[in-house]
Amino acid sequence: MEYQAELARWLERAVDDPDLAAELKAVQNDPAALADRFYRDLEFGTGGLRGVIGAGSNRLNIYTIRRATQGLADTLNASGLPKQVAIAHDSRIKGELFAREAARVLAANGITAYLYPRLEPTPALSWAVRYLGCGAGICVTASHNPARYNGYKVYGADGCQITPETASKVLAHIEATDCFDGVRLADYDAALAEGRIRLIGDECLDAFVDAVVKLRPGNDVSRLKLVYTPLNGSGLECVQKLLAKMGVPKGNVTVVPAQKEPDGNFPTCPYPNPEIREAMEEGLRLCDAVHPDLLLGTDPDCDRMGAAVPDGRGGYRLITGNEMGVLLFDYLCRTRQAAGSMPKDPVAVTTIVSTDMAGPVAQKYGVELRRTLTGFKYIGEQIGLLEAEGCPERYVFGFEESYGYLSGGHVRDKDAVNAVMLACECAAWYAGQGKSLLDAVNGLYAEYGWYQNELHSKEFEGQDGMRAMQALMAALRKTPPADIAGCAVERMVDYGPGGNGLPPADVLEFRLAGGGKLIVRPSGTEPKVKLYLSVRGASQEDADAKMAALRAGALALL
């Protein structure tokens, strides 16, 4: 049977985690299960690693973590960067174990590992990299993926996720490393005692929260009533610190009980993603009893934030990522202009898959709007470029449709702690105008048109799934559709060759007659193809009708 040699090697050598041997013995007579675990190495890209937790080269386990960290250590030691790495983890299964294993490898390679002593948000890791003067950072997280996943994000010295060029260097070292024989490994307790592994002190985390507080526009939030859910993840500590510093009374904040404590099994929602209504249902039910001004939810690594607001009919309405992005963008621009604090030649950044509504908002306030590829690392890169040009103050705001927001340069990744602050400030400001956040959203639609956006995806699991994804994209490139949902395709943009100031990406964009848009993009972190749909209507009813037609046409392409 194929993969028997690898199975035997792992059964003999993978002895440091008994879960792995038990899993392999359970599937040793299942050819498909073995193939899925061994047909490839878990892919390392610009986002690092992400995969199902388990045994084999195509799973996330202590051996694939060690191998990746050895590759990172070799890359860092060959560079002129500081030989220090900050490490964080969230509530994911085996997260603490994987973080410690990474620290052991770094310590054995002469690199000081700074380790958060408990779970902390991804943006707190981005902060720690620069605060501690590190050459790189590691965050053990699978963000909002289901419980069976974990991941390994790698950050550069600038606090951004690593560039494709750096990822290629790390990958070359990884490919030259055997996961059993090619990894240097220190004893954790000995390295900790000797200072080769160091625990990150509370002053670093407090400085992160203080940096977020400094970005406040400064509205009175003392009357706000909130329901908050960390979705069994890492956000609770920093969000509670933030709200206290902002002046939100502790008695005005109700944390969703079933989702308060860290739990990598995410028992209340299979997808702990605030983009998905199911993940927010516990909070929405609590809203019916508490009647807050805002329901706020952060994903397990606390880089995404979702929100719901009173709908005026006794219920609560979820705000989409695009709506929140435009709402906060408009709010920051109008309040900074009113206060005289808008910088000269201001810049905002969003992604090619985020709403086109950001364009007219930017035009109204005289803001240069830059669009990047999907992934907040590219937004962080733009902040770094402005800083290198000596004008970091030009950066006003960045957002992506997948519920990521950032209003300052304190970190180089999306920051849900920052987003919670902005949502509270925005709600308080509109309350002072006698309006709710839903009033504000509807006001923007009335001013700019009813932009509507949807995301749909199709999963392609396993070895055959990857081939099917590649075949789909190849077919669309070879024979692009002449029309979608009866709307002529006026222009197809293939981001594969690069250009327009953007690096190459496996993304296709179809611009349609009437202003519609469809973007097709294989996920960089999950085995799925994503479809981003966009329309603009003269009214909500008009937008709904256009979206229904585009949805049917787009899904037919799959």
Annotate 109-128 with three-state secondary structure: CCCEEEECCCCCCHHHHHHH
pLDDT digit of tens for each residue in the chain (558 aa)? 579 999 999 999 999 999 999 999 999 999 999 999 999 999 998 889 999 999 999 999 999 999 999 999 999 999 999 999 999 999 999 999 999 999 999 999 999 999 999 999 999 999 999 999 999 999 999 998 999 999 999 999 999 999 889 999 999 999 999 999 999 999 999 999 999 999 999 999 999 999 999 999 999 999 999 999 999 999 999 999 999 999 999 999 999 999 999 999 999 998 999 999 999 999 999 999 999 999 999 999 999 999 999 999 999 999 999 999 999 999 999 999 999 999 999 999 999 999 999 999 999 999 999 999 998 999 999 999 999 999 999 999 999 999 999 999 999 999 999 999 999 999 999 999 999 999 999 999 999 999 999 999 888 877 678 788 889 999 999 999 999 988 899 999 999 987 677 889 999 999 999 889 999 998 766 678 999 999 999 999 999 999 999 999 999 888
Token code pair at residue 313:
């009919």
Cβ(298)–Cβ(305) below 8 Å? yes
pLDDT of 525: 61
Handedness of CA 434, 437, 443, 446 (dihedral sign): negative
Residue 223 half-sphere exposure toward CB, CA atoms < 13 A: 8
Helix (H, G, I), strand (E, B) or coil at 105: helix
- In this structure, how many other beta carbons lie within 10 angstroms of the beta carbon of residue 492? 14
* End-to-end Cα distance, the chain: 34
- DSSP letters spanning 245-305: HHT--GGGEEE-GGGTS--TT-TT-SS--TTSHHHHHHHHHHHHHH--SEEEEE-TTS--E
Could you give the strand order of the β-sheet that contains 49-52, starting from the edge strand earlier in sequence?
49-52, 149-156, 136-140, 84-89, 112-115, 197-199
Cβ(125)–Cβ(74) below 8 Å? no
pLDDT of 460: 84
- In this structure, how many other beta carbons lie within 10 angstroms of the beta carbon of residue 477? 13
Residue in 503, 182, 481 with CA at minimum distance from that of residue 373: 503
Q: Greatest CA separation found in the chain? A: 72
Task: For residue 179, give the DSSP letter.
Answer: T
pTM for the structure as a whole: 0.95
Residue in 531, 528, 536 with CA at minimum distance from that of residue 557: 531
Give me the amino acid identity at 303: D
pLDDT of 1: 56
**C-alpha–C-alpha distance, residues 273 and 146, integer Å:** 9
Helix (H, G, I), strand (E, B) or coil at 292: coil
- DSSP letters spanning 468-501: HHHHHHHHHHHS--SEETTEEEEEEEE-TT-BTT
**C-alpha–C-alpha distance, residues 438 and 311, integer Å:** 7
Q: Which long-range contacts (CB under 8 A, 24 or more apart) does 467-474 make?
A: 469/522, 469/527, 469/529, 472/529, 472/558, 473/506, 473/508, 473/520, 473/522, 473/529
pLDDT of 495: 94
Point out the residues that are catalytic: 143
Residue in 394, 398, 393 with CA at minimum distance from that of residue 422: 398
Task: Report how many helices (DSSP H) and strands (DSSP E) the chain contains, helices first.
Answer: 18, 21
Helix (H, G, I), strand (E, B) or coil at 548: helix
Give me the amino acid identity at 162: I
- Which residues are CB-contacts of 310 (< 8 A; sequence separation ≥ 6)? 291, 293, 316, 317, 436, 438
Cβ(177)–Cβ(67) below 8 Å? yes
**C-alpha–C-alpha distance, residues 279 and 553, integer Å:** 28
Residue in the block written with tokens 């009533």: 225
Helix (H) or strand (E) holding 140: strand 136-140
**C-alpha–C-alpha distance, residues 156 and 532, integer Å:** 29
pLDDT of 387: 95
**C-alpha–C-alpha distance, residues 416 and 529, integer Å:** 26
Pairing relation of β-strands 49-52 and 84-89? unpaired
**C-alpha–C-alpha distance, residues 529 and 246, integer Å:** 41
Token code pair at residue 364:
């109204």
**C-alpha–C-alpha distance, residues 539 and 508, integer Å:** 28
Residue in the block written with tokens 């992506």: 400
**C-alpha–C-alpha distance, residues 354 and 132, integer Å:** 33
pLDDT of 458: 87
Exposed, middle or buried by CB within 10 Å (0-12, 13-18, 19+), for 390?
exposed
Task: For residue 343, give the DSSP letter.
Answer: P
Exposed, middle or buried by CB within 10 Å (0-12, 13-18, 19+), for 147?
buried
Give phi and psi for 519, each to the nearest 5.
-120, 130
